[in-house]
């Protein structure tokens, strides 16, 4: 295990009935709040009323900024930056899932920047400051409520890039599992895929030469928890314990805990998937379930041992031959994705095979930005062929 610093300053308030505390928490950071949310589902499930009541009880002034879509876009975030500056807000409150939280983070950083906010995503500029971000989570998948990253798509060029900075890490996040009761089957499944893939990217793609039983065990245990909880949720959407286990496991999956001490971590599966959601507006989790098994097959010659370990520990695959165990594990993973209703091929998602060249070109741009030198366009193309 390598040297590391793990610091996660986000205050998590977890459990049923805890949304009522968001007002007093937000009031610690300012008196005027930009409330960022999506297409209106929080008004149907009662979360909006709970949030607004709590903010009013703390005598906070609220500016609403709605309309965030599932794959958030830069132009909408820019409008939010303008609104936040115009209204003089002091706090950004995201009520939603990863897309809403990522938009809120972009706004928080953009308000404090004296340049084009996109420069932060291309790493031409670095984040020097941001307004405080708080969240009320309504979809558990990305762990954006407890990490320092955000992803957004610039419509021009269909570029889905990311930023990372401690300045945009949420100060407080409220997680009430009952909010997830109304989450539909598709997004319950996609959430699980997203959380699992976050962990597996670190499990497979780190620079630590000696695997850590501790870190491996965290990933394997969380993955089994997520899988079991998801299967229960699809049968019983209002099972509190299943929703609670899923909600907390998804947060732990990408808050820095599972990769602490593992050195540098690469995210090639996310890099390629970003092109699917940028070009075709595919749900992020759905895109990941398409790319991950194909990427694993492409990496079999160099990572058979790691794939085999996952297969044995998570799926109970027997056999001493690593390559055979790895292939069986990939097949089990694909079958589980399919079981929960997430697509496992480009064809299944309605993405034509003749577009592979275009997808690879788009993904290669991000590979260069992220410094993934092992992924030239030709390699990305080969991976996409395995996903067709």
Residue 275, in any domain of the structure: yes
CA angle 357, 359, 364 (to 5 degrees): 95
Dist CA 120 CA 129 (whole Å): 12
Give Cα 182 to chain centroid, integer Å.
20
Q: For residue 279, is it left (φ>0), alpha (ψ between -120 and 50) or beta?
A: alpha
Q: For residue 31, is it left (φ>0), alpha (ψ between -120 and 50) or beta?
A: alpha
pLDDT tens-digit readout, 111-165:
999 999 999 999 999 999 999 999 999 999 999 999 999 999 999 999 999 999 9
pLDDT tens-digit readout, 274-297:
999 999 999 999 999 999 999 999
Residue 35, in any domain of the structure: yes
pLDDT at position 312 is 97
Domain end position, chosen among 126, 144, 178: 178
What is this structure's pTM?
0.94
pLDDT at position 211 is 87
Write the CATH number for 193.
1.20.1090.10
Query: Mean pLDDT score of the chain, rounded to an integer?
Result: 96
Domain end position, chosen among 160, 178, 196: 178
pLDDT at position 323 is 95
Show the domain range for 22: 11-178
Residue 238 dihedral angles phi and psi, to the nearest 5°: -105, 25
Residue with tokens 């009761």: 181
Residue 5, in any domain of the structure: no
pLDDT tier, 47 (very low <50, low <70, confident <90, very high otherwise): very high
How many domains is the chain built from?
A: 2
User: Is the pLDDT score of 99 beyond 90?
Assistant: yes
DSSP string, 189-229: HHHHHHHHHHHHHHHHSB--SS--HHHHHHHHHHHHHHHHH
pLDDT at position 39 is 87
Residue 1, in any domain of the structure: no
Q: Are residues 193 and 342 in the same domain?
A: yes
Q: Are residues 201 and 308 in the same domain?
A: yes
Dist CA 361 CA 351 (whole Å): 15
pLDDT at position 319 is 79
pLDDT at position 236 is 97
pLDDT tens-digit readout, 220-262:
999 999 999 999 999 999 999 999 999 999 999 999 999 999 9
* DSSP conformational letter for 20: G
Q: Are residues 174 and 189 in the same domain?
A: no
Domain end position, chosen among 116, 147, 178: 178
Write the CATH number for 144.
3.40.50.1970
Q: Are residues 333 and 208 in the same domain?
A: yes
| Strand 91-96 to 133-137 pairing | parallel
pLDDT tens-digit readout, 301-339:
999 999 999 999 999 999 789 999 999 999 999 999 999
Dist CA 237 CA 178 (whole Å): 10
Reported residue count of the chain is: 388
Q: Mean pLDDT, to the nearest integer, of 350-374?
A: 95
């Amino acid at each position: 295990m390598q040297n590391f610093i793990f610091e996660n300053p986000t205050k998590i308030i977890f459990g049923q009935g805890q949304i009522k505390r968001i007002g007093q928490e937000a009031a610690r950071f300012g008196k005027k709040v930009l409330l960022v949310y999506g297409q209106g589902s929080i008004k149907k499930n009662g979360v909006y009323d709970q949030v607004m009541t709590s903010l009013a009880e703390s005598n906070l002034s609220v500016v609403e900024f709605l309309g965030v879509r599932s794959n958030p876009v830069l132009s909408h975030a820019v409008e939010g930056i303008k609104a936040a500056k115009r209204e003089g807000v002091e706090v950004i409150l995201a009520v939603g899932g990863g897309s809403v939280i990522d938009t809120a983070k972009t706004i928080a950083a953009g308000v404090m920047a004296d340049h084009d906010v996109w420069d932060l995503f291309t790493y031409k500029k670095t984040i020097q400051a941001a307004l405080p971000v708080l969240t009320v989570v309504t979809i558990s998948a990305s762990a954006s409520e407890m990490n320092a990253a955000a992803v957004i798509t610039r419509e021009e060029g269909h570029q889905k890039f990311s930023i990372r900075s401690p300045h945009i890490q949420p100060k407080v996040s409220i997680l009430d599992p009952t909010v997830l009761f109304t989450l539909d089957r598709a997004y319950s499944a996609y959430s699980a895929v997203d959380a699992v893939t976050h962990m597996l990217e670190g499990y497979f793609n780190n620079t630590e030469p000696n695997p850590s039983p501790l870190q491996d065990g965290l990933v394997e245990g969380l993955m089994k928890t997520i899988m079991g909880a998801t299967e229960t949720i699809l049968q019983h959407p209002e099972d509190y314990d299943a929703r609670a286990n899923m909600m907390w496991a998804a947060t732990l999956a990408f808050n820095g805990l599972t990769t602490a001490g593992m050195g540098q971590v690469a995210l090639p599966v996310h890099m390629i998937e970003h092109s699917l959601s940028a070009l075709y507006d595919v749900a992020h989790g759905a895109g990941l379930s398409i790319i991950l098994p194909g990427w694993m097959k492409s990496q079999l010659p160099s990572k058979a041992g790691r794939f085999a370990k996952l297969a044995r520990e998570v799926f109970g695959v027997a056999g001493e031959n690593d390559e055979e165990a790895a292939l069986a594990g990939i097949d089990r993973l694909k079958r589980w994705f399919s079981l929960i209703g997430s697509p496992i091929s480009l064809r299944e998602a309605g993405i034509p095979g003749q577009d592979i060249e275009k997808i690879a070109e788009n993904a290669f741009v991000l590979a260069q930005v992220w410094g993934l030198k092992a992924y030239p366009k030709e390699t990305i193309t080969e991976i996409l062929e395995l996903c067709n």
